[in-house]
Structure 1
Amino acid sequence: MSTHQRQYVSRWVPKTSRGLMGILLAVTVINSATLGYDSSVMNNLNILPSYTEYFNLNTRTTSLQTAAGWVGQMLGIFVMIPIADRYGRKMTIIVAGALCFIGTILQAASQNIGMFITARIIVGFGTIIGNAGAPTLVAELIPARTRGRMLGIFFSCYYVGSLISSIISYGSQNIPSTWSWRLPSLLMFIPSAITLCLYPLCPESPRYLISMGEFEHAREVLIVMQGEHTDVDKGQTELVEIRAIMHKEAEDAPRAPWIELFATKGNLKRLFVIVSFGTMIEMCGNFVISWYLTDILNQAGITDTTTQTQINVILNCWCFAVAIFGSYMLDVAGRRVQILFSLAGMAVMLYITGGLIKVYGTSTNTSGIYGTIAAIFIFQGLYSFAITPLTSAYPVEIASFRLRSTCVAIFKFTDCSFGLMASFVMNFAMERLSWKFYMLNASWDVLFFLTAYFFYPETKRLSLEAVATLFEGPQLIEAALEEDDMRKDDVFQGKGDVDVTAKAA
């Protein structure tokens, strides 16, 4: 058994695989919690009279402030690919943390609506970069047997930030000044600061290092990920296999990623799954409850501010618990089973919610009001069980290394585009359609169910390279390994004859 001495990986990186998994788990929690806090803080602020009165908000300005974050995210999409592919997955996390830190300070110090909107754009810019780089780094580091739950936990911890935001807003609502809304805004800098502190404790993605020709560094990362007390030859074997697949992918797809996505049947299927899933996240009904819970509760007859805040806190606790359970089930039940079960259940609950609001929305019937709240809780639980954990897992898994950053960018662009549209449209649609609005969302979920049933592949417990065979066929791995038998030694001398770098177009 060979011994191992570090030459490239920082001494700050834990020596045991368990310790390193703990650091990666912390990275997932902090980055996802930042997005959850940011998303929830707007819903919570909209409940506070001190906030709405300070900016003199109406339906249009409320939609504009909500949309500002989506605008920032869409702008961030255009820089996430060059940062991730040219400077590394870790650098995206640093850039994201710095931007969120700056935006948070500006948001808390806002003196007018223009300043607030600018701050929201900066924060959105930072969160989208972080939530593209962090799950990619985690996916490219951890083994297939735990990838589903780790990536599932990543976005499930969205509810950690959302819950913290709700609790802080609940506690600050009685502050007799603008600090009742400035304080929840200001405290969002904490996860950004923690993210910057975790930077030295994480290794770089071995797949990114291979793409840069840094084979010895990549081999060392693979050894560290297994635990330095294991046979170091395992790291070399894994490096050869990963490099072989990346080599073959680059050889078969030499053009720019944006062109390759439209060049083969496999890539067109990837593109369809990514775009449809990005649409599903925002249009299956969860957007309304996440961003306009106050309006829903008003329609259900619950108008007291304290009661609304309490419901928001309890709802976030419920969603977080279900999302964690769903994350662990990804590697047990599988992606397809969970997403189909959740979509079917969400469609049913939205039909029920619409019916309850129609019958009891303007009444004082306690049973009807509680029934509406129960339907909302069940719907959010179903969403959290599958859609929430898959948000980070699925787009990263189904893309080959060469296309991964591009696919994630397209996914985020689709997600943000529909989120931006919904932030403007949903508020007016709820106001004018009332209970019919929920029936419309339920019908969309039926269409999403059919889409997932016919087109979404199962990726449970498959390595990232093995997932590629679901689109290109098993001959990808067979040809790559056969071809690489002739030049294993070249891997460690940097003599690969085909560039495996995943450059952005």
Structure 2
Amino acid sequence: MGMMIGNIYFISAIAVVGGGLFGFDISSMSAIIPTQPYKCYFNQGGLNPQGYCYGPNTDVQGGITASMPAGSWLAALVSGYLSDILGRKKAIMIGCVIWVIGSIIVSASQNIGMLIAGRIINGMCVGICSAQVPVYISEIAPPSKRGRLVGMQQWAITWGIMIMFYISYGSSFIKGTAAFRLPWGLQMIPAILLFFAMFFLPESPRWLASKDRWQDCRDVLTLVHGKGDPHAVLVSKEFDEIKAAVEFERQNADVTYFELLTPKMINRTHIGVFTQIWSQLTGMNVMMYYITYVFAMAGLSGNNLLVSSSIQYVINVVMTVPALLFVDRWGRRPTLLIGAALMMTWLFANAGILATYGVYQPDGIDGQREASTLVHGAASKAIIACSYLFVASYAPTWGPVSWIYPPELFPLRVRGKAVALATSANWAFNFALAYFVPPAFVNIQWRTYIIFGVFCIAMFLHVLFLFPETAGKPLEEITVIFEDPNGFKYLGTPAWKTHGSYHREKELGMAAADEEKAFKRGSETASKDDASPERVSEHIEK
């Protein structure tokens, strides 16, 4: 394995930079949208009475913001094929190259069309990386740390959002077009670093196994799980489980996207897809992209506006940490349920405050037509507080879990494509919402919050009745939940009866000596009948 890095935390820390690129995009838009250099360069609406440029029309601004998730949607779907053919590692590296091309076009934009084209190309990178980084990490991580490590993707997004916001904020003091060209150009740097760092990371052992590269698969497991010892019990156990799963899946035909819609798979597919859809329908990205509109309604302007918006990005980074530390212990279900209930509370509170104390502003505030309602005094402080509390509720719950959960639901054979499908649903809704929110703030004003509050109620009920617990279980064991003969025909074990198994690895440690002896005996006498369907399914059931 030569120069390969074996520390699982280090591997994850590098891989998740792919997620951080998406964060860069979110905040570069929110910090740049309200600035005059941007508005005057891409102006479509003339000047307002105070002599400010209106900037792009409301629906065009929605289109500019939404062009990135549009590119992501397309690329996330394709990424499943890309990563199954070339490997998880190469797919992420291709994403990096695409990002650099997109960033060059965006930062050199001469008009709105060029800006949108560059953002679509950037989106293609984000689509590939956001779909395949969680697959890569979940296939290489030990079961008890998997949630924490895949959750680092969300943490990287929050860091990207915060760093880029401050770069854009600093650039907003520059005169002329450099105010937005500089931050859009700087976002190339992490992609270039990620591209070269990926050379030192191992490939996913499960992908290597699917290509019959068994020795490479064992080498990666030895490097990552065995700290160099090929006889470590966890190495043997993971290797056996992967081998059994691959053989079993071989006998069950090739995979296409249609297989994800078969009766056996449809339940997992709908849960994976809806995890990503609901994470968008919480309204979180709306809070991120367009937070400056919300705070303008609370009476903030200029520097005050941008600094207050940035506090929310800091909260986002800090509050994602508890999830990284405890999500494997808490389990996926309780985390999602509590998050939905809290977010619903803050959304309805914001709607109520704006409806009761807000004063309609037909021309908008400071040239921002989207900021259509103004509140003063205590009510404005309450709007800001509820917005901060909303972020603090999302960051440790739906934020990380929406990336952790989908890769855990599927068997290896379909995982690349299944996660790509789920992630593409995230981007389709991200696109729709980025487009929908500016006109919604203009036309239905505070009622926008009610819509998202109702979505939070729906997702709470959906998780309660249909989302099983997957925390701490080996990926091969999760299959049993969905194919439980004692459960419902196509739903498997009822969701509310499933529990996590966080302490599994300690049990493994106690059984280590017996396992190792048994493994050595078994590997000496292993014969072809080990791969028979009966033996394999028996192995998986164990």
CA offsets per residue over residues 26-52 of structure 1, 9 Å max, x none?
322x12211100122111111211112
1:13 aligns with 2:4: yes
Aligned residue for 1:299? 297
Aligned residue for 2:248? 248
Aligned residue for 1:418? 429
Tell me the distance in 2 between the aligned counterparts of 1:80 and 1:409.
6
Classify 1:418/1:237 alpha carbon distance in 2 versus 1 (closer, same or farther; 3 Å): closer
1:25 aligns with 2:13: yes
For 2:35, the aligned partner's letter is L
1:39 aligns with 2:30: no
1:281 aligns with 2:297: no
Classify 1:179/1:415 alpha carbon distance in 2 versus 1 (closer, same or farther; 3 Å): same
For 2:20, the aligned partner's letter is A
Tell me the distance in 2 between the aligned counterparts of 1:288 and 1:20.
33
For 1:272, the aligned partner's letter is H
Aligned length: 475
Tell me the distance in 2 between the aligned counterparts of 1:200 and 1:364.
53
The alpha-carbon deviation at position 360 of structure 1 amounts to 3.1
Does the aligned pair in 2 maintain the 1:240–1:491 contact within 8 Å?
Answer: no
1:368 aligns with 2:379: yes
Match for 1:450 among 438, 441, 461?
461
Match for 1:49 among 22, 36, 42?
36
The alpha-carbon deviation at position 231 of structure 1 amounts to 4.7
Tell me the distance in 1 between the aligned counterparts of 2:206 and 2:485.
21
Aligned residue for 2:407? 396
Unaligned runs of 5+ in 1: 1-8, 477-483, 501-505
Aligned residue for 1:72? 71
For 1:428, the aligned partner's letter is P
TM-score, structure 1 as length reference: 0.89
Match for 1:461 among 451, 460, 472?
472
1:311 aligns with 2:308: yes
> Greater CA deviation, 144-153 or 241-250?
241-250
The alpha-carbon deviation at position 260 of structure 1 amounts to 2.4
Classify 1:12/1:244 alpha carbon distance in 2 versus 1 (closer, same or farther; 3 Å): same
Question: Secondary structure at the residue paired with 1:85?
Answer: helix
Aligned residue for 1:230? 229
Superposed, 1:93-104 pairs within 5 Å as: 93-104=92-103
Tell me the distance in 2 between the aligned counterparts of 1:173 and 1:229.
50
TM-score, structure 2 as length reference: 0.83
Aligned residue for 2:489? none
1:92 aligns with 2:83: no
Tell me the distance in 2 between the aligned counterparts of 1:165 and 1:369.
27
Tell me the distance in 1 between the aligned counterparts of 2:410 and 2:3.
31
The alpha-carbon deviation at position 312 of structure 1 amounts to 2.0
Does the aligned pair in 1 maintain the 2:298–2:376 contact within 8 Å?
Answer: no
1:60 aligns with 2:51: no
For 1:356, the aligned partner's letter is I
Aligned residue for 1:479? none
Classify 1:465/1:344 alpha carbon distance in 2 versus 1 (closer, same or farther; 3 Å): same
Tell me the distance in 2 between the aligned counterparts of 1:54 and 1:360.
35
Tell me the distance in 2 between the aligned counterparts of 1:489 and 1:398.
34
Classify 1:72/1:364 alpha carbon distance in 2 versus 1 (closer, same or farther; 3 Å): closer
> Greater CA deviation, 378-387 or 219-228?
219-228
Tell me the distance in 2 between the aligned counterparts of 1:361 and 1:169.
30
CA RMSD of aligned residues (A): 2.5
Does the aligned pair in 2 maintain the 1:275–1:414 contact within 8 Å?
Answer: yes
Identity %: 27
Aligned residue for 1:338? 335
